[in-house]
Structure 1
Amino acid sequence: MKSLLDKVNAKLNAQGGFLKAVSVLVGGTAFAQLIGFLCLPILTRLYTPEDYSVLGVYVAIVSILAVVSCLRFDIAIPIPENENDGKALLFLSFLSNTIFSIILYVVLFISYPYIQHYKIIDQLSYWIWLIPLGVFVSGFYSALQFWATRHKRFKDIAKTRMTQAISGNAVSLAGGMFSVGFGGLIVGQLLNFSGGLVKLAVSAKKDLAVVKSSPLKATFAKYSNFPKYSTFEALANVSAIQLPLILLASYIIGPTVGYLMLAMKVLGVPMGLIGSAFSQVYLANASSHFESNTLYSYTKNVIFKILKITIIPFLLLALISPYIFGYIFGKNWNDVGLYILAMLPWYFMQILSSPVSMSLHIISKQKLALFLQIFGFIIRVIILFLVILAWRYYSLAWYVISGFLFYFLYLIVILLNLKRLDFND
């Protein structure tokens, strides 16, 4: 028995502990995803598709704003070898996030009398005032999570995901039981954005007490490509994912966005379970592989590992999704299985490409990454908008096809650039 455990441990610690790190994150994320999935059949009986449509709009707005609130200094935190630079990047993330969130409240306060009668704003009602708060806690969590990634504290990250799942779903369930409407979903989502902040903050505080910080101005200049290029890249990327929900909610009456939101939650299980874990570990190890000129082979190995893990679950989901989700989620959600089936190719390409997308930043290809995201924004938002205006019947089909097309091309571009770099070296 001991020999077997030794072999398992040796396997997990192979390749710099890659599999062990992934297993820790997958374990924590699996627990979080299991809690969320077990709660869904109850939540779908407490809330209507229209409630989930409003939640989808709230999540879309917060996600778009939160991704730029730290000016992308947060994603740079794991990159520098110098600990002082990492600390300065963390401080820059906090500072940017705080100023951005305050500006959001000021803008919302000034503009609210003029926008309150728009359909989307009217749907959100007074819950709109939780948007800047959602942005603030999301940005704060992101910076602390990347600091934990820098120090390879994958157990801490895994625990925060458990906290998010438990607290967020508990509040949503309580809100549904007391019939507070979609507000219960929004407050639950706010806890999903922020759960585990205290734990990560305590760990970071201990680190920062013994590390000097590089001058913020010098660090800002050194990593200026992140706010200059990565900010717009991330904004284009998240907007391409989230803005279609707002467009569809604005122009298509009915439960469509609610179905899409639930389909995304279901498909987010493998994405959150596998994609997120691989992404964190890939980022923690990619810099060293870049230094040793092995980033291309390392990236291919990561993609192949993801492929082996996900191919069978995705095929099974394709076979059963049209038949089972009406029973699982209730009669109001009979059509959600068809939405899931249609979105499977898109999410399959996303789970392959997203974990290794940071490689373009590692090799200083921020301009290329920005171009790719602008291309994605054009085909996924601008063309969708035109389709909605001219051929509304085909808008959902284009929404799904454009998602698959973007992630497929993104993966090809990543591999070609890494291979070219490897060849030149």
Structure 2
Amino acid sequence: MKGLLDKINTKLNAQGGFLKAVSVLVGGTAFAQLIGFLCLPFLTRLYSPEDYSILGVYIAMVSILSVISSLRFDIAIPIPQQEDEGKALLLLALLSNTIFFVVLYIFLFLIHPFIQDFKIIKQLSYWIWLVPFGVYISGLYSALQYWATRHKRFKDIAQTRMTQAIFGNGTSLATGAVWGGFWGLILGQILNFSGGLVKLATSAKKDLSLIKSSPLKDTFSKYSNFPKYSTFEALANTSAIQLPLIIIASFVIGPEVGYLMMAMKVLAIPSALIGASLAQVYLSEAPLYYKKQQLYKYTLTIQLKILKLIILPFIILALISPYIFTIIFGEQWKELGFFILILMPSCFMQLQSSPISMALHVIGRQKIALWLQFFGFVIRVLFLFLVMLYDKKLFLVYYALSSFIFYVVYYFLIIFCLKKANNEG
């Protein structure tokens, strides 16, 4: 028995502990996703598809803004070898996030009288004022999470995901059961954003107290490509994912946005379980492999691991999705299975490409990443708007098709750039 455990431990610690790190993150994420999935049958009976439509709009707004709130200094935190540079990047991320939070509230205060009669703003009601707060805590969590990634504290990250699932779902269940109304979903989402912040902040504070030097000005200059290029890249990427929800909600009156939002939530389970965990570990290891000129080969290895992990679950989901979700979520969600089936090909390609997307930043190809995301924004948002003007009934087919095309192009361009960088030495 001891020999078997030793073999398992050796296997997990292979490749610099990659599998062990992934197993820790996947374990914590799996628990969080299990909690979320077990709560969904109750939540879908407490809240209607229309309630989830409003939640989808709120999440879309927060997601689009939070991805740029730290000027992308957060994603650069794991990259430098020097600890003082890592600290400076963390401080720059936190400072940018705080300034953005203040500016966002001032901007909302100024424009609210002009937008308060819009359909979407009316639906959100006074909960629109919690959008800047959601952006702030989301940006704060991102910066602290990347600091934990830099120090390979994957166990801490896994624990925060469990905390988020328990607090977020528990709050939505309690408020839905006692009071009802879509605001329980928004309150639960805010707690989901903020879960685990104290734990990550405590660890980061101890680290920072040991680092005496933090050259902010020099670090800002050295990593200026992140705010110059990566900010717009991330904005284009997140907007291409989230803006369609707002566009569709503006054109369509009914539960369709709720179905789309729930389909994305269900399909995000394998993405969060496998893709996000692999991406976290991949980013922590990629700079070292790039320095050894082995990043291309390492990336192909990761791709094979992802394919082996997701192929069977996707086949099973495709077979059961038209039948199972009405039973699980209730009769009012009977169209959900169809939405999931349509979105599965794009989700499959997203799982293949997203975990390795940070490779373009590691090899210094921020401009390429920016143009790639701009391409995605054009075909997934601007063309969707034109499609909605032509025929609103085509929104789901076009949304799924454009996402699939984007992730196919994204994947092969990343591989091409890595191969070229490897050949150039």
TM-score bucket (shorter structure):
over 0.9
Aligned to 1:227: 227
Aligned to 2:308: 308
Give distance in 1, aligned partners of 2:315 and 2:96: 43
Structure 2 gap ranges (5+): none
Aligned to 1:400: 400
Structure 1 residue 77: deviation in Å? Answer: 0.2
Kindly provide the CA deviation profile for residues 23-47 of structure 1, in whole angstroms up to 9, marking residues without a partner as x: 0000000000000000000000000
Aligned to 2:208: 208
Structure 1 gap ranges (5+): none
SS of 1:414's partner is helix
Q: TM-score, normalised by structure 1?
A: 0.99
1:99 equivalent to 2:99? Answer yes
Give distance in 2, aligned partners of 1:245 and 1:352: 23
Which stretch of structure 1 is more off in the superposition, 110-119 or 40-49? 110-119
Structure 1 residue 212: deviation in Å? Answer: 2.1
1:158 equivalent to 2:158? Answer yes
Cα RMSD over matched residues? 0.6
SS of 1:273's partner is helix
The one-letter code sitting in structure 2 at the alignment partner of 1:109 is F
Give distance in 1, aligned partners of 2:82 and 2:293: 20
Aligned to 1:348: 348
Aligned to 2:48: 48
Kindly provide the CA deviation profile for residues 115-167 of structure 1, in whole angstroms up to 9, marking residues without a partner as x: 11100000000111110000000000000000000000000000000000000
The one-letter code sitting in structure 1 at the alignment partner of 2:253 is I
Aligned to 1:184: 184
1:249 equivalent to 2:249? Answer yes
Structure 1 residue 217: deviation in Å? Answer: 1.2
Structure 1 residue 391: deviation in Å? Answer: 2.3
Is the Cα contact below 8 Å between 2:287 and 2:362 reproduced in 1?
yes
SS of 2:13's partner is helix
Is the Cα contact below 8 Å between 2:36 and 2:169 reproduced in 1?
yes
The one-letter code sitting in structure 1 at the alignment partner of 2:4 is L
Aligned to 2:275: 275
Is the Cα contact below 8 Å between 2:73 and 2:90 reproduced in 1?
yes
SS of 1:81's partner is coil
The one-letter code sitting in structure 1 at the alignment partner of 2:420 is R
Kindly provide the CA deviation profile for residues 42-98 of structure 1, in whole angstroms up to 9, marking residues without a partner as x: 000000000000000000000000000000000000000000000000000010000
Q: Return structure 1 stretches of 4+ with deviation > 6 angstroms.
A: none
Kindly provide the CA deviation profile for residues 242-299 of structure 1, in whole angstroms up to 9, marking residues without a partner as x: 0000000000111000001111111111000000100000000000000000000000
**Aligned length in residues:** 425
Structure 1 residue 180: deviation in Å? Answer: 3.5
Is the Cα contact below 8 Å between 2:46 and 2:180 reproduced in 1?
no
SS of 2:286's partner is helix
Aligned to 2:167: 167
SS of 1:91's partner is helix
Give distance in 2, aligned partners of 1:233 and 1:19: 30
1:410 equivalent to 2:414? Answer no
Identity of aligned residues (%): 66
Aligned to 2:20: 20
Is the Cα contact below 8 Å between 2:26 and 2:273 reproduced in 1?
yes
Kindly provide the CA deviation profile for residues 336-367 of structure 1, in whole angstroms up to 9, marking residues without a partner as x: 00100111001000011000000000010000
Aligned to 1:125: 125
Structure 1 residue 175: deviation in Å? Answer: 1.2
Which stretch of structure 1 is more off in the superposition, 43-52 or 392-401? 392-401
